[in-house]
Structure 1
Amino acid sequence: MAIVAVSITPLGVGTSVSSFVAAAERVLLQKPHLKRQLSPMFTVLEGDLDEIMEAIREMQEAVFAAGAQRVSTVIKIDDRRDKEVTMEGKIKAVEEKL
């Protein structure tokens, strides 16, 4: 299972991008098998890496469909194979050390 942070940013559309973020997030609402966590700067996804990458491509297309002519996408992947990890587990591990 992978944990992936993604930020999809439309360029040249002004200062407010919340409608574009909403368009991308609507894609994820159709994928209940992927766990998601929206944050102010990224959306974090948890699930099968192939499914996540497919969802990111669909999210990017949704931003184009919402009117963007240019999109910048940043992806950070944590694909751990030695043990199962979750978003909550990663946060808990840090919080326990505080």
Structure 2
Amino acid sequence: MAAKAAAEAKPKVSRTDRFAQGLAALARFVERERHPRVPRPHKEQVEAVEAGPGGEEQVVVSYFALGTWLNNQKARRAKLAPGQLAQLAEHGVEWA
């Protein structure tokens, strides 16, 4: 019951937005590590500024499952748009 309520409270993220999130996380990883070989279990720390309960801004830290996301993109590469493949290739992803 609590899991359903939590899922309903979370806003839906479109595939395009999810791809953009993954690409941004990949860019941070490549900038830091100097290579795009992301281990499957790796989660990239992501910070976002959100409005707090009193209207003040607060930084929210979450983790993006970058290794899993990249593995899924590779598995589905035949379904990715040419532009998406090009974006991945720009970050050094060899199979893109």
Q: Which has the higher helix share?
A: 2
Larger strand proportion, structure 1 or 2? 1
User: Normalization by structure 1: what TM-score?
Assistant: 0.27
Q: Which has the higher contact order (CA 8 A, sep 6+)?
A: 1
Q: TM-score, normalised by structure 2?
A: 0.28
